[in-house]
Amino acid sequence: MCQRSRRGAGSPDAVHTAGWSDVSEVSRPRRTQQERRAATVTKLVDATIAAIGEVGYQRSTVQEICGRAGLSAGAMFRQFDTRLDLIVRTAEEGFRRQIDGYRSTMEHLGAQDNALDTALRFLRAAQSSNLSHALREIFLAARSDTELCARIEPIAAAYYGEIVATLDRTGLLDDFPPNVREPIFFMMLHLFSGEAVVRGVYPRPDVDAAVLTLVEEMLAMYAARVAPPPED
């Protein structure tokens, strides 16, 4: 009959195993409660963005979001009192990520041969991202949800204010009068945002290419028209 090996705490194998355990504990310290909470919130926010962008605002239930995050509903409610709180946090994080991407692009415009073209292409691509689709869904829901609207309005205001301020710092629109620079930005934003919605159903890459060329030509002609006359 096979006999069980008895390895006491003082046996070589036990000491060897304990040694590796100690090394493991040293090399991989436990995360703090704050770090664990931050990781959980990130999972929930990422899952909310993915869910809303793919299945829409209404179908992004607590169950849908938690299933994508690999978490229980209880884990979600330990971080957020309501689904609305999670939606607002998601909008806030979504805006932050877009600002980070925008700043990164704007910082490298000086190295581009056609900075305006680069900026317009970035704006167009950003509006077609799943993150932007999710934010649009939240905006649409806020039209008929007064509480959601009240909570994301200041977040959106701060976001757009920072975007316009960053645009001013780059000098990208310095060829235009100061009073039209912000309207130009929103005109382009609304153009590409609407395009992203329609192209999801009716793709026309040929028209999209022509639209970008036309927009750049129109902006160039407008800049030339409002430019101050040359000094004598």
Q: Which two tokens stand for residue 86?
A: 């999670």
What confidence tens digit (pLDDT) does each residue in 46-66 have?
999 999 999 999 999 999 999
Sign of CA dihedral 57, 59, 60, 61: positive
Closest to 63 measured CA to CA, from 47, 79, 49: 47
Q: Is the pLDDT of residue 84 over 90?
A: yes
195 to 151, 188, 189: CA distances (angstroms): 27, 10, 10
* CATH number assigned to the domain with residue range 32-226, chosen from the 4 options 1.10.40.50, 1.10.10.10, 1.10.357.10, 1.20.1250.20: 1.10.357.10
CA distance 232 to 16: 89
What pLDDT, on the 0 to 100 scale, is given for residue 161?
96
CA distance 211 to 191: 10
Q: Is 70 left (phi over 0), alpha (psi -120 to 50) or beta?
A: left
pLDDT band with cut points at 50, 70 and 90 for residue 107: confident
Determine what percent of the chain is predicted with pLDDT higher than 70.
87
Q: Which two tokens stand for residue 195?
A: 């395009």
Burial class (CB in 10 A: 0-12, 13-18, 19+), 142: buried
Q: Is the pLDDT of residue 211 over 80?
A: yes
Angle between helices 205-226 and 115-127 (to 10 degrees): 140
Closest to 44 measured CA to CA, from 79, 84, 14: 79
CA distance 115 to 100: 18
What pLDDT, on the 0 to 100 scale, is given for residue 203?
95
Q: What is the DSSP string of 3-16?
A: PPP---TTSHHHHH
What pLDDT, on the 0 to 100 scale, is given for residue 101?
92
What confidence tens digit (pLDDT) does each residue in 6-36 have?
444 444 444 343 343 444 445 567 878 888 9
What pLDDT, on the 0 to 100 scale, is given for residue 231?
73
Q: Using an 8 Å Cβ cutoff, are 49 and 90 in contact? A: yes
Angle between helices 178-199 and 146-170 (to 10 degrees): 120
Return all residues near 55 (Cβ < 8 A) that are at least 6 apart: 64
Q: Which two tokens stand for residue 167?
A: 């645009």
What pLDDT, on the 0 to 100 scale, is given for residue 232?
61
Q: Is the pLDDT of residue 104 over 50?
A: yes
Mean pLDDT across the stretch 97-119?
86
